[in-house]
Amino acid sequence: MTKKRIYLSSPTMHGREQEFVNEAFTTNWVAPLGPHVDAFERELVAYTHAGYGAALSAGTAAIHLALRLSGVKEGDVVFVSSLTFSASCNPIVYEKATPVFIDSEKDTWNMCPKALRKAYEKYPNPKAVILVHLYGTPAKLDEIMEICREHQTVLIEDAAESLGSTYKGRHTGTFGRFGIYSFNGNKIITTSGGGMLVSDDEEEIKKARFLATQARDPARHYQHSQIGFNYRMSNILAGIGRGQLLALEEHKQRKQEIYQTYQEAFAKIPEITMNPMNQEGEANCWLSCITIQEGCRVTPSMVMDALEKENAESRPIWKPMHLQPVFAEYDLITAGEEIVSEDIFQRGLCLPSDIKNTSEDMELIIQTVTSLFG
């Protein structure tokens, strides 16, 4: 008999999503754009207090447009977190700009402010900084924002993994000139695929919508004065997003409960450390992760193999971008001699963090992990 599959982080539908989708079909708003898109933008902005939003086809599209709107061009330097998924960095290369990777700090696993300051010594005029809130944990925003202000550099917040997370009571994604959210299938809420670009600047969001709709000029005929993109979200997907948004706080609470359950269970195993939290913020705990003490006989691969035997999905920590073959030619800036992001990658893994995990599922996962350290 096949064991039940326990997922890392899969979509969870509640039924309300179907109501919005049915409305789209009933009214024949199945093409891109429509009333659900407008409403989803308003509702997400109301939740995050972001100012204005443009619903797009992906979080990657949102980063790309943020770079375009920031004036990033061929040859420009963009600082970006190294410990992230490649979607944070790919749009830099789309624009033929140069990514410079910034190492992590241990307190939150996010971009290290000390390394960022050091990066300015070598590259004094970057066009933008892309800051990633890894696994839903807010970065050290005060320090990073101060550095960006000192050097008059545009800050773009990649909050793809951190929707619902806050720093000093304010939502991630709302601190920089631009913020981006992702609604990919594994995120805390999903539209099956999609993203949103947010900003306090209404004119910038209007420009983003224009560029995302093939940059069609306001003429009766089809006229284009600049290159645009097919990046807008469909009305159907926005309907799913509206239904999901109603459950965001419920999803967040459940993710936090999963993290706390793991934290309590592994407290007696000195070789295991949970991914750290920023004490000045609240994480959505999108994924619960652990690192294993260096030199321990148990390795992350052993843990993942043991979980897979129980049909439980786990993943390695993101492989840092400076270690990726496609980005091998680009620079990494560290605060000191230690490369923190590499250490986290080598010793860490992501545990099953699906909000549908039952107490029995959690017990099985925890028992499987702890048995390796007995």
Q: Which domains does the chain have, with CATH numbers?
A: 16-245 (3.40.640.10), 248-371 (3.90.1150.10)
Question: What is the pLDDT, as a whole number, of residue 2?
Answer: 83
154 exposed, middle or buried (CB, 10 Å; 0-12, 13-18, 19+)?
buried
Q: Which residues of the chain have pLDDT under 50?
A: none
- The long-range contacts involving 247-250, CB below 8 angstroms and separated by at least 24 positions, are 247/12, 247/14, 247/16, 247/189, 248/47, 248/163, 248/164, 248/188, 248/189, 249/164
At 6 the three-state DSSP class reads strand
Give the pLDDT confidence score for residue 215 in this predicted structure.
Answer: 87
Which tens digit of pLDDT belongs to each residue from 99-149?
999 999 999 999 999 999 999 999 999 999 999 999 999 999 999 999 999
What are the CA-CA distances from residue 306 to residues 76, 282, 367, 371 (Å)? 45, 31, 10, 10
Instruction: Note the pLDDT of residue 278.
Output: 98
Predicted local distance difference test score (pLDDT) of residue 66: 98
* pLDDT for 219: 85
Neighbours of 15 (CB within 10 A): 7
